[in-house]
Structure 1
């Protein structure tokens, strides 16, 4: 409060308090309005002593439980895309971590070496007595990944500086003390989650190794069926060995690459 600002009067404070309560009540009304049919049904069944819960619970408790259950178990199942979006959410980026996002371009048009390598790997892993697997080879696509490093001098509330991604990578590399590069593939059964969900893990790996982590945002199924994720993984590995034009990093020696991930 500055010297020119008058102190709030008790009447003004009381009015603000009433306004806050009014807004809260209005919000609660809007929240419960779609639940009115459910609440009526629960109330009627309770008064008729038909519901199983009416033997043990009072009406108020049964209504609260019914509303809470409707929130945790919605009547309309989420679509796969909605589930992926929900599962891919991550807390705000802050703390002892560097993150720099890089998008690896696909091979030039007409270059089929990546697809041929994937087909050869799949064929080499199958049972010779079994028929060849049926799949459609996807086209290579840009593959995004997060360069992650440990930010030693940051606090738990520190945010990343407002820099371009390449500049963030440069700042991260100032704290990297080891040539180790962890190539990380997040879990999620190939159709859920994201590198952003796994930042606590990749940050810890960077801290323990003194190196950096390259966490791949591979394509998810069913929008991108097998072997799209496998192709993105190989493309990311090759990008470490042979950085594309415009890449942030220098070539990484194979002996310095550590594969990691979770299911």
Structure 2
């Protein structure tokens, strides 16, 4: 009886979330085939997916942060026979002091007068090796060592992507991003290490940078007994989507500032590089994106993890630190010395302008930047599996990893526009240029943070 009650309550809760979407999706389906108020690049499946995600994201304010975290970080029981998934702890090993010193140095040096921010305590974290799998044998009872050897036997590339998942720094895990990461690994015929970094608000800035840097150094110099052999930095690409894209940029700044060996390249998908949402597209693209229309301040029920008392408006960092380059990389003074970058952005996403500005600033610092803008696509549109734009973006990521890790000499430093059919062409100057200076962006961020506590903002809902 107890088992029946638990199952009933579980399905009752699920139905309670799904049933309210029926009228909404019915309306959206009808509109798709009648007056067609969606972008031409959206097919029916994409339209329904985007509107469904937006609905579920708006439900967040009805739950505590712990409840939402539990939903988005739980282990999946869904088996994917074409994915290698091998759990892997990242121990402290001998890099603790090195990592802490590097993050401390970057926090202080890049702060430009901001009060000193102490690096978070370095902690052991977890992650998982991910690769595309062709083997059909049942490996469920194999040891991690045996699985890793079998995975390696199927790979053609010795490149490794260190992947940092998105989720606004407080949601998701490698589990939620397995499809994306394994699809990327398939494109360059290598393996990815997907990091389960600590989440805010339980662990806030710079904990996530500390975790990512620890994983990077662990890849380069693993302790005895590790599954992998040392990976040269010129064979490592750091990649991430959304908050993971911002974290990728922050880790890169830390590496450059501290003099640690730089990776072969970085990939950012829809990077969140302005924590304040101060650019115009955060408002003008609200209709064509699924991100909440008010992303600056978290709206969750008060809980042990988040008192919601108004003293701090963001989970990841205190108000005064939002302007810090490690938190909002659009404020970085220079990207000189950075490795090649691939910046992929959706034209219809709310983070479009900040992603373009980030790419421009890096290019102006002499960095080899390949920026790609995809017609009408929303935030992290790679989740729209099967859409021509998503397929094209995975192909481009695979080509980039192969190029920067030494496989080819394909075009670099390019600007591309990709239409709704996945066809690639040049990106026009008027689509690329944002028109702000760094000082103007810093002032806009300051103004945005000041408005967070205004009555106008407090009365808005996501």
Shared fold per TM-score greater than 0.5: yes
2:189 maps to what in 1? 210
Q: 1:152 aligns with which of 123, 134, 155?
A: 134
Q: Does residue 106 of structure 1 match 2:85?
A: no
CA contact (8 A) 1:93 1:160 kept: no
CA contact (8 A) 1:148 1:215 kept: yes
Structure 2 residues not aligned, in runs of 5+ = 17-55, 243-462
Structure 1 residues not aligned, in runs of 5+ = 1-22, 36-71
CA contact (8 A) 2:156 2:189 kept: yes
Q: Does residue 140 of structure 1 match 2:126?
A: no
Structure 2 distance, partners of 1:170, 1:262, is: 29
Q: Does residue 115 of structure 1 match 2:100?
A: yes
When residues 185 and 159 of structure 1 are mapped into structure 2, their CA distance, relative to the original with a 3 A threshold, is farther
Pairwise CA RMSD: 3.0
CA contact (8 A) 1:185 1:261 kept: yes
Structure 1 distance, partners of 2:77, 2:122, is: 30
Structure 1 distance, partners of 2:114, 2:158, is: 43
Q: 2:216 aligns with which of 232, 237, 250?
A: 237
CA contact (8 A) 1:101 1:165 kept: yes
1:77 maps to what in 2? 62
Question: Which structure exhibits the higher relative contact order, with contacts defined as CA atoms closer than 8 Å and separated by 6 or more residues?
Answer: 1
Structure 2 distance, partners of 1:233, 1:116, is: 14
1:248 maps to what in 2? 227
- 1:17-76 alpha-carbon deviations (Å, 9 max, x no partner): xxxxxx9xxx69xx69xx9xxxxxxxxxxxxxxxxxxxxxxxxxxxxxxxxxxxx899x9
Q: 2:200 aligns with which of 221, 232, 236?
A: 221
Alignment of 1:1-263 (within 5 A): 77-89=62-74, 90=76, 92-107=78-93, 112-126=97-111, 128=112, 130-133=113-116, 135-154=117-136, 160-263=139-242
Which structure has the larger Rg over C-alpha atoms?
1
When residues 166 and 149 of structure 1 are mapped into structure 2, their CA distance, relative to the original with a 3 A threshold, is same
Show structure 1 runs of 4+ deviating over 4 A: none
- 1:199-231 alpha-carbon deviations (Å, 9 max, x no partner): 111111111011100000000011112111100
For the residue of structure 2 that corresponds to 1:223, the secondary structure is coil
Structure 2 distance, partners of 1:160, 1:97, is: 12
CA contact (8 A) 1:107 1:140 kept: no
- 1:153-180 alpha-carbon deviations (Å, 9 max, x no partner): 44xxx87532122222111111111011
CA deviation after TM superposition for structure 1 residue 195, in Å = 0.3
TM-score when normalising by structure 1: 0.65
CA contact (8 A) 1:181 1:257 kept: yes
For the residue of structure 2 that corresponds to 1:131, the secondary structure is coil
TM-score when normalising by structure 2: 0.38
